[in-house]
Amino acid sequence: MQKGCRAGNATRNNQLDFGEYGLQVLDRGFVSGHQIEAARVAVTRHLKRRGQLWLRIFPDKPITKKPLETRMGKGKGNPEDWVAVVRPGNMILEISGCTEAIARAAMARAASKMPMRSRMLSRHAAE
């Protein structure tokens, strides 16, 4: 898969669809599958079965790397990692079924695992 274009803002997956609280990205870039899993584990452990969690991004883009000390040419490298492409406005995850204080703390933990700036959105503030 080629690198593609990451310009512009998110036109899909940019509002709360499932939960009451969501984590929205403010920068563009790649989020690896390991970072998504780390955020999921951090939120799930903080919630302690009190709420429901939806992951809104999936790492479906392979990132390739050539081995170290390899000469130029000889084709594309082997797939090394899987990433999700995010643009400003994409929702990373959503939570419902808990209080706002618990959701805010869980989102702060998830945001610390992400490689870009993000903010928490609330369905109650939007209405």
Identify the domain containing residue 86 by its residue range. 21-62+77-126
pLDDT of residue 125: 66
The closest of 92, 32, 114, 112 to 65, measured between CA atoms, is 32
* Under 8 Å between Cβ of 47 and 108: no
What is the SS3 string spanning 21-55? Answer: EEEEECCCEEEEHHHHHHHHHHHHHHHCCCCEEEE
Answer whether residue 12 is part of any domain: no
Answer whether residue 81 is part of any domain: yes
* Under 8 Å between Cβ of 33 and 122: no
pLDDT of residue 123: 85
pLDDT of residue 109: 95
Q: How confident is the model at residue 126 (pLDDT cuts 50, 70, 90)?
A: low
Three-state SS for 82? Answer: strand
pTM above 0.75, yes or no: yes
Q: How many domains does the chain have?
A: 1
pLDDT tens per residue across span 79-125: 899 999 999 999 999 999 999 999 999 999 999 999 999 999 998 76
Answer whether residue 3 is part of any domain: no
Question: How many whole angstroms separate alpha carbon 76 and alpha carbon 54?
Answer: 35
Per the prediction, the chain carries an average pLDDT of 91
pLDDT of residue 121: 93
49: left (phi over 0), alpha (psi -120 to 50) or beta: left
Tell whether the model's pLDDT for residue 16 goes beyond 60: yes
Question: How many whole angstroms separate alpha carbon 86 and alpha carbon 92?
Answer: 9
CATH code for the domain in which residue 105 is found: 3.90.1170.10
Q: Could you tell me how far CA 57 lies from the centroid of its own chain?
A: 6
Answer whether residue 35 is part of any domain: yes
Tell whether the model's pLDDT for residue 65 goes beyond 60: yes
Answer whether residue 30 is part of any domain: yes
Q: How confident is the model at residue 6 (pLDDT cuts 50, 70, 90)?
A: confident
